[in-house]
Structure 1
């Protein structure tokens, strides 16, 4: 029997989707690819495949899960299976350098960024950037890995040669101009089926860890998801959000064969938009969705069901 196959390495991030598939009475199977085999001389099963592999898998001791997923996706695509978020989506998920170059091709402005390997080169990159404030981040990231704000190269040097420096899993550190917003929030646009679903405003006053998932841990810090917040929630869906950037985002996703994604941007004091992250393993905040009556995983499950019935 044909079914939906969910490719991932973190069970906690698939529960909301599998619950929706069960509601819609769609058969599914999870492929947890922290390890496994790929029988290249055999044909894969018939069905619909959805890739949810995460760039942060190594933080859960699944160091080679993305590489294994890449092999699986190549196998599936060779046999012309229907894959949501296939090889190109995985390539962008694992590299912000690839994200930024692909975004710029669609006339989508990204922050000025330099990629560097090696501590002396990271320091020189920061000096050559010429920005009054800049951030570091990991090229292969997720969960805000390696994100630090600096106001001088001296403080960066202290960090690089101090005990708290985080070595990126792929060795590439990004040095990026800091885009200061007049208000402490960023905007995350969610897309399902390659089409805009909703935008969520994310409060950044407590830091850069912006994971919207209900189960999300960054070191010893937890995303305050679902907690009662006295003044306003950390994640809030914007009613009737409309901006010309949405059309560019949809064209970008179509070109790169990405069906499901969350794209984050920030506005500077002039109102200019800078796009800095494409998350093809997007999660949704349950509390924000409940308040707005919009549900990403439900819409995704409906699309998967439609494809399953056609298969």
Structure 2
């Protein structure tokens, strides 16, 4: 029997999808690729394969899961299996340098960025970036981990020489101009099947760990007013979001064979959009979805089910 195969390394981020697949009565199998083998001497099973490998796998002691996934995707694609978020998606997931060059090629503006390896070169890059305030981040990261904001090269040098410096897993640190927004939030646009689903406003006032998954949340933000406490959710779905950038995003996803993604941008004080992250292992925030009555994993599971039907029909009627 043909199935939906889910490629991943973190069950906490996958259970919401498998729950929806079970709700719809769709057959599925999880491939947890922390370790494993790739039987190149055999053909893979028939079905549809959905890659959810994460750039942050190393933070869960799954250091080589992306490399193993890359081998598996090559095997699947060689045998012409239907893969959502295949090799190109993984390539972009694992490198912001690749993301930015692909976005710029698609006519999408990104923040000014310099990549560097080695502490002296990181400091030199900060001097060359041309802005007083700048951000450092890992080329291969996820969840906003490793992001630091600096307002001087002296502060960066102190960080580089101190005990808190975080070495990127691939050795590449990015130095990026700081885009100052008039309000402390970014916007994340969600796409399923290559099409826009909804946008989420994400509060950044308490830092840059922006993963919307329930397992990643550090709790809602609170704003004390006198003795009362007013809740302010970190994630809020924007009602009827519409912007010309969406057309460019959809074309970018089509050009790079990406079916599922969350794309994040920030506006400066002049209203200009700067896109800084493409997450092909996107998650959805349960509280925000419940409040808006929109459910990304249900829509994703439904579309995967439709793709499974197409694959099954193609097998039965190969001339179609």
TM-score range, shorter chain: over 0.9
Structure 2 residue aligned with 1:166: 166
Query: What is the TM-score when the length of structure 1 is the normalising length?
Result: 0.97
Asked if the contact 1:210/1:223 (under 8 Å) is kept, the reply is: no
**Separation in 2 of the partners of 1:278 and 1:225?**
24
Structure 2 residue aligned with 1:219: none
**Separation in 2 of the partners of 1:7 and 1:190?**
20
**Separation in 1 of the partners of 2:235 and 2:219?**
9
Q: How does 1:63-74 map to 2 (within 5 A)?
A: 63-74=63-74
SS in 2 for 1:265: strand
Q: How does 1:26-105 map to 2 (within 5 A)?
A: 26-105=26-105
Q: How does 1:131-146 map to 2 (within 5 A)?
A: 131-146=131-146
Structure 2 residue aligned with 1:224: 219
Structure 2 residue aligned with 1:4: 4
Structure 1 residue aligned with 2:179: 179
SS in 2 for 1:174: strand
**Separation in 2 of the partners of 1:195 and 1:143?**
23
1:159-191 Cα distance to aligned partner (Å, 9 max, x none): 001000000000000000000000000000000
Q: Which runs of 5+ in 1 are unaligned?
A: 217-221
Structure 1 residue aligned with 2:239: 239
Flag the structure with larger Rg: 2
Q: Which runs of 5+ in 2 are unaligned?
A: 224-228, 312-320
SS in 1 for 2:191: strand
Asked if the contact 1:188/1:199 (under 8 Å) is kept, the reply is: yes
Is 1:305 matched with 2:305?
yes
1:205-249 Cα distance to aligned partner (Å, 9 max, x none): 001111100001xxxxx5226999824211000001000000000
Shift of 1:143: 1.5
**Separation in 1 of the partners of 2:296 and 2:76?**
25
Distance 1:227-1:271 versus aligned 2 partners, 3 A rule: closer
SS in 2 for 1:110: coil
SS in 1 for 2:120: helix
SS in 1 for 2:214: coil
**Separation in 1 of the partners of 2:221 and 2:276?**
25
Structure 2 residue aligned with 1:24: 24
Asked if the contact 1:7/1:53 (under 8 Å) is kept, the reply is: yes
Structure 2 residue aligned with 1:148: 148
Query: What is the TM-score when the length of structure 2 is the normalising length?
Result: 0.94
Asked if the contact 2:4/2:50 (under 8 Å) is kept, the reply is: yes
**Separation in 2 of the partners of 1:19 and 1:227?**
31
**Separation in 2 of the partners of 1:141 and 1:102?**
18
Paired positions, count: 306
Structure 1 residue aligned with 2:274: 274
**Separation in 2 of the partners of 1:38 and 1:225?**
42
Is 1:208 matched with 2:205?
no
SS in 2 for 1:80: coil
Structure 1 residue aligned with 2:226: none
**Separation in 1 of the partners of 2:94 and 2:238?**
28
